[in-house]
Chain A
Amino acid sequence: MKNSIYIYILLLILLIHTDKIYGQVIVKDTLALNEIQPIGFGQQPKWMVTSSISQVKGEELQYAFTSNLANSLYGRIPGLTVMQGSGEPGVDSPGLFSRGVGTFGPGRDILVIVDGFESSFEQLVPAEIASISLLKDASATAIFGNRGANGVLMITTKRGHEGPLVVNFRTQHGFHSAQRLPKFLGSYDYASLLNEGLANEGSSPRYSEEELENYRTGSDPFLYPNVNWQEEILRNTAYMANYNLNFKGGNESVRYFVLLNSISSEGLYIKAGDMEEESTNSTYSRFNFRSNVDIDISDRLMATLILGGSVENKANPAGRTTGGMFNTLSSLPPNSFPVYNPDGSFGGSSAFSNPLGDLLQTGSHLSNGRTLQSTLKLTQQLDQIARGLSISGAVSFNNYFRSYSIKSKQYERYALSRNDEGEDTYNRFGQNTSLVGSEGDSEQWRNVIFQGFMNYDRTFGKHGLNGMLMAHSETFTNISSETTNANLSFPFNHVGGGGRFTYSNDAKYIAEFSFGYMGSENFAKDSRFGFFPAGSLGWIVSQESFLKNNPTVSFLKLRSSYGLVGNNRISEGGPNRFLFDQRFPYTASYYLGNTNNVVSGIAEGPLANPGVTWEKESRFNVGFEMTLFDRFDLIVDVFDHNRFDILATPNRTIPQYSGVVRPLLNEGEMRNRGGEMTLRYTSKPSAKFSYFVEANTWYAQNEIVFMSEQLRPFDYQNRTGMPLDQPFGLRAVGLFASQAEIDSSPAHLFAPVKPGDVRYEDMNQDGVVDQNDVAPVGKPGLPTTTFSFQSGLKFKGFDMNFMLQGVTGNSVYLGGLNFHAFQNNGQAPAMALDRWTPETAGSATYPRLSASNNLNNYRFSSFWQRDGTFMKMRNLEFGYSLSESMSERLRITSARLFVNGTNLFSLDRMDGYRDPETGFGYPAMRTLSLGASFQF
């Protein structure tokens, strides 16, 4: 490592000393399409791009009011599937997948590059983003070598420009609320249904008629409580605000972009900190800063300094996790106990603590996170050596650190009962303790990256030549205070380089070759480096004489690419990191001696795979970009990706009689096919009225081609040939209508079945329904298709913009506490009202009730699956910009006021019982806000 630092210093010194003169390379403006497109480790004019890249501009991201940048990407980037997660501020990162998923191995994450270096990006704010590009095909990603196969999301931040200072100020204030919360029954319905479930099981009812009547009337809220705990714990709306101030400008020698941003968001919990000093309000806040400066040190030497950072604070009441709290809200029956007992103490029971007590009396959970991205890059023109030649060197330090401060305590709660004399008696659970602090938890990642570039960019008459060679070295560490596995705490090294050579002829024909040469020490010494080439061709048909100046076809480019990319993240879990080496781990222990002492055992672990290597993927892409009548754009891409060398257990080549623990071998194959399409119409620009409409859709369908799968008793149980993560469950064929139907059906072995229970298909027709009848049901959770529709219009000072986004081709499972009644003494969902009873046999949508976990009905099956198709109004914004004259009078350049709605509604097949994406825990959020922006 040290060596390389010296070499870079040398390189930099060299750069500075050779700072002399020379020649001018003139790149002719051959096309109007000279907009710059960021590509891997560089940029190209758009016309020259022959790879498949989709892009979104930073401005568009402002339409989503969210504290997590990734949540502004829904529907924005064709080819990027965004899977919404929790809506909790600070931990609401969605899953991101480029063209779906191409591997059944563990490393499925997209590679995120910010300004040329691997980093996180969720903490950035839209105002500092110039663009976000998704690099999709081999030509775009090969240069990333063995790290590019899962696609690359490339974030470019804003830079200064030559011109007077522009100051932008923008502020936005709003409220967010849960889109959907699970629905549960009140005490009366709960108690009645529980009695019914008990009766169905042949047990006597738990609640007498009198008790039911008390629940119905609610006459005694202490002994017969009916608590809606969601209402007690959660607020309907929580405040959220953002302030952004940025400066942009520069002169010939210095250009800058400087930004400050502050965002704060309240959580959905009630304001516990206002009620109890030892607790805290649920809040999230983050401050971002950025200073991007470009300096021309001399005519030939340019320096770029990028500094971006953030500090975030998150506070939650209760010394328990959000997940735990929502789990309690999903399971605590409404009649368990009142919030407060008559004497003012917290209600509680042996099985459940009091959620409000948990918020107020168990301390607080604070965390503080910091990110820093810092890069220095020097570029030296070397025209004196060869015209159009330049070299540059860059060093980047990126890191993230989060520390936790947890204060916890316990508290008393009391179960209330009334004795025969009519006196209240209290039974205590838990005890009051004093606050205990814990400051030891932390997590961090950091990387140090060096890069050197040599660029060559020159035009000889018709012939354009661009060449780039780069070297890259990175050390990446990702650990937390809980990391105990040394395999994980050792830094990961990535070393290598790449290059790209582009030849263009008359801005008509373009040929490009690029390659990545990357290594990492997770592989055996002599097989650490891999070569990943890609080639692409482009033909700008509209430049041909027969189409030039054609009134219909304004622009047409055909392009195609083929190449190889890799994925070295084959061992996400620590134990598999160094698969090339034979290990002898501890095995199960044995017991010896007259007192049965434990003795440890060691044995050969999984066989080493000395030639272990990264996953590889051959990618074919063909596409075209077309503009008609200057107004109508159409972009189409079709791809065929074949991933191979995926690690798989060789169940079919290594016999068990060898006695080995089978190694992981690079044997697996997966295929992923699909495409993207963008249609856009832009009206003629006019002062009065202008608009655009854009529709996008993208599709990716994967299939496991080979995974050396174990032999299964029945063919329908095979994973091979199925999409990745295909759910396997029982196939429900409705509810049993009668005992006669049960008698004439295959025996259901999971539990004794009665009319109203779920009936399953006997897949192997052996006369019984058991584990062997588990077969593919429904579709995986990852949608195959995303579609989006967006439009914007401007009329005089008014503007409007919206985006509808949806997915299809996936299944959603309604399971767990929110849907299965009375599990683990839990509550009953509103859905259970539509249960089967002899009277409702025809219309029932929920099986016969059971008072506990029903081993037949609550099994994973198609009965609880729903089509995951949905369409969501991701954002809708109305704005009004002051007229120029008005602005002038106010001495500002421009001003705009706007109303924004984010995640306004969802159209789906969940019948309102859950959000189609976020099913459990902290709900997905809807936000309504007002804002204003000013430019000075």
Chain B
Amino acid sequence: MKNLLYIGSLFFISVSCIDMERELTTEFTESQAKTTYDNSLARVNSIYTDIPGGYLQIDGAMAAANSDEATHTLETSAVHRLNNGSWNSVDNPDNLWGGLYRGIRKATQFLESSDSINLDEYRLNPAPSAQSVYETRLAEITRWKNEARFLRAYFYFELIKRYGGVPIISESLDLDHDFGSIERNTLLECINYIISECDLAAASLPVTYPNLEMGRATKGAVLSLKAKTLLLAASELFNNPAWAGGYDRSELIALNGDRQARWKEAADAAKEVIDLSVYALHNNYRNLFINNSFTFSEIIFTRRNSSSSEFEVANYPIGYDLGNSGTTPSQGLVDAYEVVVSSTQTEPFDWNNPSHANNPYSNRDPRLGLSVILNNSWYKGRNVEIWSGGRDGPGVVNATRTGYYLKKYVNENLNLLQGGTSVKSWHIFRLADTYLSYAEALNEYNPGNPEILAYINMVRRRPGINMPRIPQGLDQDEMRNRIRHERRVELAFEDHRRWDLRRWMVAEEILDSPLQGVEVTRLEAGGFSYTPFISENRVFDANMYLYPIPLEEILISPNIRQNPGW
């Protein structure tokens, strides 16, 4: 029997002798990623990729199609569910929750580990050249940390704009973390957190970068984020929880305290950006949104992209090669562009005014023709035919449903058949927005301040636009309306509108109204007639002021309180 045991053990010795000890590595390990200089740089770069892109943001549609600016041609696009009210905490077509928190984790992880980057190669080398590399790299690492800090604050800004107060996750959580105990931070805590992070980052980020590094977070970007956050915090939505119908956790969705002070802070922050004096309005409104616009001095921060034709394929009018109509401007937006009466005077467009209605596209704010493709206008080598029976009009499958096509952002000069592409960057902060934000905040706590008119007129007087100045002597309400109007026109399709309407707490009226288009008829006698019609109905209930927190999150963390009405 003993022998049996010997032989038996022999088998199992042989089993355990096989080389099962190996550990293979085919991708960077945690320590490789965190301790080397090159990989750390790549880790910072990777955080930038989590900035939402903006172009085909909601199931192939621009975010503008989720506002009164536009709609989307393909009926199956999920953006329509946002517009007609069939969305909820399980199915939200504009769900950026997870993606933004992904970016937050990347940034947090970077901040946690950036001190472990191994620079011993230079630190321990007494040669002056090595020491200078060491110093440079130390400084770079500090800068990277502040880039990460800024990006993380920006992701939180995008979150609170959608959800109100959200959980501030200050460390990278492990799988065995007690997720059940996580709660939402109050709105005030979130705002304060973003502001304090901005203050930290702004202190050490450069105002400009050398050419090769252009595009990274600058001091101006950080200050812009701060200004936008303060403007949001001062606005009606976050100071008046009346819409929430007796929600018992109003601290999650609203602030208390001195609103005037917040307006002042917002104005001061915007002014700080302006006073950096490195930004200037660009002289060509159309070019500001295509090609190399990321180099223009109006751009404070932009989300970079590769060269592509995706957006043009999606948005060229249906009658052009490979075009799919995509996101099409609404009549409401078109009507918002002023009619220029003289070099000093404008009037609102009015369908009841026959001279307007008969020639709806003449003498308009030049930004109309630069942002919207109008019927019978010249585009890509021919006139656009949006009339019934025309090459781009009703009757053609997937033709525009509003009577317009998108012009802003779309690069007219691509030959899609030959695979042409162009670089598109999505502007997060640009100076015109800062001017208008400054004017808005100023008008709230210091109406009549001459800078209000000065900055709004600067936007209107951009070379090539040259709209008549806004007259003196408007009262605070009139001025507020002018500023809001200017934002709508100047910043069309830039994904400001749906947030502005919420911020001002007017979305319940405006986003709940039907979206209009125009029917174009070609007259036998030549010329066209234009008749506005209701293109689609829209639903906006009060609870939509904030997005619902994804239900999965609440099931995992029951202490996360859902937003009102969801």
Contact = CB atoms under 8 A, between A and B. Distances in A.
B500 to A, nearest CB: 27
Nearest to B304: A591
Contact of B12 (A497, A587, A602, A712): A497
Nearest to B39: A602
A652 B556 CA distance: 7
A588 interface: yes
B26 A487 contact: yes
Contact of B214 (A594, A600, A605): A594
A831 to B, nearest CB: 24
Contacts, number: 237
Contacts of A588: 46, 49
A710 interface: yes
Nearest to A454: B7
B459 to A, nearest CB: 26
A625 to B, nearest CB: 34
Contacts of B109: 604
Q: Give the dominant DSSP class at A's interface.
A: loop
A713 B49 contact: no
Interface in B262-321: 292, 294-295, 304-307
B14 A590 contact: no
B469 to A, nearest CB: 35
A7 B14 contact: yes
Contacts of A603: 43, 46-47, 106
B18 A493 contact: yes
Interface string A682-712: 0000000000000000000000000000111
A405 interface: no
Contact of B105 (A591, A659, A711, A713): A659
Given A487-B24, A604-B109, A749-B75, A592 B213 contact: yes
B297 to A, nearest CB: 12
Given A4-B17, A652-B552, A713-B88, A590 B175 contact: no
Contacts of A592: 45, 212-216, 304
Interface stretch (A98-106, A108-116, A467-475): A467-475
Contact of B552 (A386, A602, A656, A660): A656
A593 B169 contact: no
Nearest to B89: A711
B33 A584 contact: yes
Interface string B373-395: 00000000000000000000001
B104 A602 contact: no
A653 interface: yes
Interface in B37-64: 39, 41-43, 45-49
Given A386-B1, A597-B212, A652-B556, A497 B27 contact: no
B111 to A, nearest CB: 13
Contacts of B76: 749-750, 770-771
Contacts of B28: 583-585, 602
A471 B14 contact: yes
Contacts of A528: 20
B294 A583 contact: no
Contact of B45 (A1, A599, A751): A599
B172 A659 contact: yes
B508 interface: no
Contacts of A658: 101, 105, 169, 173, 177, 179
A497 B29 contact: no
Contacts of A11: 10, 14
A4 B211 contact: no
A641 to B, nearest CB: 28
A583 B46 contact: no
A339 B78 CA distance: 47
A611 to B, nearest CB: 10
A75 to B, nearest CB: 40
Contact of B90 (A472, A583, A598, A712): A712
A581 interface: yes
Contacts of A454: 4, 7-8, 11
B328 to A, nearest CB: 17
A907 interface: no
A578 interface: yes
Contacts of B18: 1, 3-4, 473, 493, 495
Interface in A1-35: 1, 3-4, 7-8, 11
Given A657-B101, A711-B552, A521 B22 contact: yes
Contact of A525 (B12, B21, B214): B21
B190 to A, nearest CB: 13
A657 B553 contact: yes
Contact of A582 (B29, B307, B557): B29
B306 A584 contact: no
B98 interface: yes
Contact of A713 (B13, B90, B211): B90
B43 A497 contact: no
B97 interface: yes
B351 to A, nearest CB: 29
B565 interface: no
Contacts of A471: 11-12, 14-15
Contacts of B203: none
A656 B19 contact: no
Interface in A461-507: 469-473, 485-487, 490, 493, 495-497
Nearest to B398: A751
Interface in B314-336: none
Contact of A486 (B14, B22, B26): B26
A537 to B, nearest CB: 25
Interface in B56-86: 75-76, 78, 86
B414 interface: no
A657 B169 contact: yes
Interface string A646-684: 000001111111111101000000000000000000000
B23 interface: yes
Contacts of B177: 658
B556 A587 contact: no
Contact of A495 (B3, B15, B25, B86): B15
A628 interface: no
B403 to A, nearest CB: 18
B175 A594 contact: no
A33 B305 CA distance: 75
Contact of B397 (A470, A599, A752): A752
Contacts of B105: 604, 658-660
B30 A584 contact: yes
Contacts of B553: 655-657
Interface in B521-535: none
A646 B294 CA distance: 48
29 contacts: A3-B17, A386-B4, A391-B7, A490-B26, A521-B20, A521-B22, A525-B20, A586-B42, A588-B46, A589-B49, A590-B48, A592-B212, A592-B214, A592-B304, A593-B215, A596-B292, A600-B45, A601-B48, A653-B556, A656-B97, A656-B552, A656-B553, A658-B173, A659-B101, A659-B103, A661-B102, A711-B552, A713-B88, A771-B76
Given A493-B18, A584-B32, A598-B306, 14 more contacts: A528-B20, A582-B30, A584-B34, A585-B27, A597-B212, A601-B49, A602-B46, A603-B46, A653-B556, A654-B556, A656-B552, A660-B105, A749-B75, A770-B75
Interface of A: 1, 3-4, 7-8, 11, 201-202, 385-386, 389, 391, 450, 452, 454, 469-473, 485-487, 490, 493, 495-497, 517, 519, 521, 525, 528, 578, 581-605, 607, 651-661, 663, 710-713, 749-752, 766, 770-772
Which 9 residue pairs of A and B lie closest in terms of their CB atoms, listed nearest first?
A659-B105, A601-B46, A584-B33, A656-B98, A591-B304, A713-B91, A471-B11, A602-B42, A3-B17
